[in-house]
């Protein structure tokens, strides 16, 4: 049966609207690439189905900025995942072990100073023993990234992942008891004040 011209016009308009909108949505999402090869990581095709529909993940995929950075309620989860998935190579506090350190201002891959770059290296892997972490949910990776940033001990003005406001309030992480793996348990550790570099004992900011 032939569709009335009025209804056909509505249908055509709706189709055009969807067709025009789809590229806009696609263009709004960041393209994440392998740290070494530059290949498209095809995040939505290769990531775990669970944990990728959170508000934080949607925000990150569109901006490349981790919304969990220095958000206290996500640090404990990030620490837990880091200890089980990353500390064997990078040390309990990111000090480096058989893999490079993650808690100072030197980055093997300079792009890791950005949230997008660090995510690409964690998710897609890099050289040597650094394999991909497709086994982690995207939301878990964001919490791990937040914990890695929390472990930072370098100059605050070089912490490009922090906002101006976060830089004003950030305290560099310095662990007194290197053998203690409960950094988010509320125990007392040494922190260096970002403004005057005085070292003072206080509880972790978890």
Q: Which residues participate in the annotated binding site for heme c?
A: 86, 89-90
Binding site residue list: 86, 89-90
Could you give the strand order of the β-sheet that contains 199-203, starting from the edge strand earlier in sequence? 171-174, 188-193, 199-203
Q: Is 109 helix (H, G, I), strand (E, B) or coil?
A: coil
Going 119 to 142 to 75 to 77, the CA torsion angle's sign is negative
Q: Which two tokens stand for residue 101?
A: 């350190």
Instruction: Report strand pairing: 171-174 vs 188-193.
Output: antiparallel
C-beta of residue 174 within 8 angstroms of C-beta of residue 190? yes
Euclidean distance between CA atoms 56 and 74, whole angstroms? 11
C-beta of residue 171 within 8 angstroms of C-beta of residue 159? no
């Amino acid at each position: 049966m032939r569709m009335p011209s009025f209804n056909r016009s509505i249908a055509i308009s709706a189709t055009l609207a969807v067709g025009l909108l789809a590229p806009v949505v696609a263009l709004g999402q960041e393209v994440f690439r392998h740290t070494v090869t530059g290949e498209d990581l095809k995040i939505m095709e290769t990531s775990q189905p669970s944990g990728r529909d959170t508000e934080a993940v949607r925000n990150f995929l569109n901006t490349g900025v981790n919304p969990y950075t220095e958000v206290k309620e996500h640090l404990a989860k990030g620490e837990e995942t880091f200890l089980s998935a990353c500390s064997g190579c990078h040390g309990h506090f990111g000090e480096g072990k058989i893999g490079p350190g993650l808690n100072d201002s030197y980055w093997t891959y300079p792009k890791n100073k950005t949230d997008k770059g660090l995510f690409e290296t964690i998710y897609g892997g890099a050289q040597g023993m650094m394999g991909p972490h497709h086994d982690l949910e995207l939301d878990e990776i964001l919490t791990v990234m937040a914990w890695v940033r929390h472990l930072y001990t370098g100059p605050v003005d070089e912490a490009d992942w922090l906002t101006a406001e976060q830089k004003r309030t950030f305290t560099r992480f310095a662990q007194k008891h290197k053998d203690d793996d409960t950094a988010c348990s509320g125990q007392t550790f040494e922190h260096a004040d970002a403004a005057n570099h005085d070292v003072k004992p206080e509880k972790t900011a978890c």
